[in-house]
Amino acid sequence: MGARREGWWRGLALLALAPLALIADCGDPGAVHLREDGPRRLTATVIDVVDGDTIEVRLEDGTVEDVRYIGVDTPESVDPDEPVQCFAHRAARANAALVSGRDVSLRFDAERRDDYGRLLAYVYVGGRLVNAALLRRGLARTLTIAPNDSLAYRFARLAAAAGRAGRGLWGACR
């Protein structure tokens, strides 16, 4: 009987804190989906292609988010203070051809957002991983930032193969 009485206060404390947990989840409806302990995948519709590695999506709950592709970096074209980099427009057009207006699946890695507030995701159209397609075509370089590095080895192999073959920016940009 003594063992059962020792922890009685823990149950009471959990019962008292339960309403606070519910209140914490009642804010922005999108926040429920995007908690670090939330779902590992979300479905979204691409509403804009920002550049070769960034899109704007509408989540199923109506929330609009910018999504930065994990593990890849395409040449820059949107910074007004910098010249457009070699192959930037081709990378953006290829990205648009792959995802524009389409339903995509966003798969998250360890961290969900970058320092700019964008979602970080592996982006799938059907069964095709868009991040990998850009690397395979030579339209992107790898960009590995821990802890979002679960596909880094695969991405490095794809980029190396594109480089050896001189595909895309590897054959055109110096």
User: Catalytic residue among 90, 107, 112, 118, which?
Assistant: 118
The CA distance from 81 to 103, in Å, is 33
User: Catalytic residue among 76, 113, 157, 167, which?
Assistant: 76
Which pair of tokens denotes residue 29? Answer: 């409806």
CA dihedral 80, 82, 84, 88 (to 10 degrees): -90
Q: Say whether 128 is catalytic.
A: no
Q: Are 112 and 36 in contact (CB under 8 A)?
A: yes
Q: Say whether 76 is catalytic.
A: yes
User: Catalytic residue among 65, 68, 112, 136, which?
Assistant: 68
Q: Are 67 and 123 in contact (CB under 8 A)?
A: yes
Q: Are 102 and 46 in contact (CB under 8 A)?
A: yes
Which pair of tokens denotes residue 104? Answer: 């995509």
Q: Say whether 90 is catalytic.
A: no
Q: Are 52 and 94 in contact (CB under 8 A)?
A: yes
Task: Write out the catalytic residue numbers.
Answer: 68, 76, 118
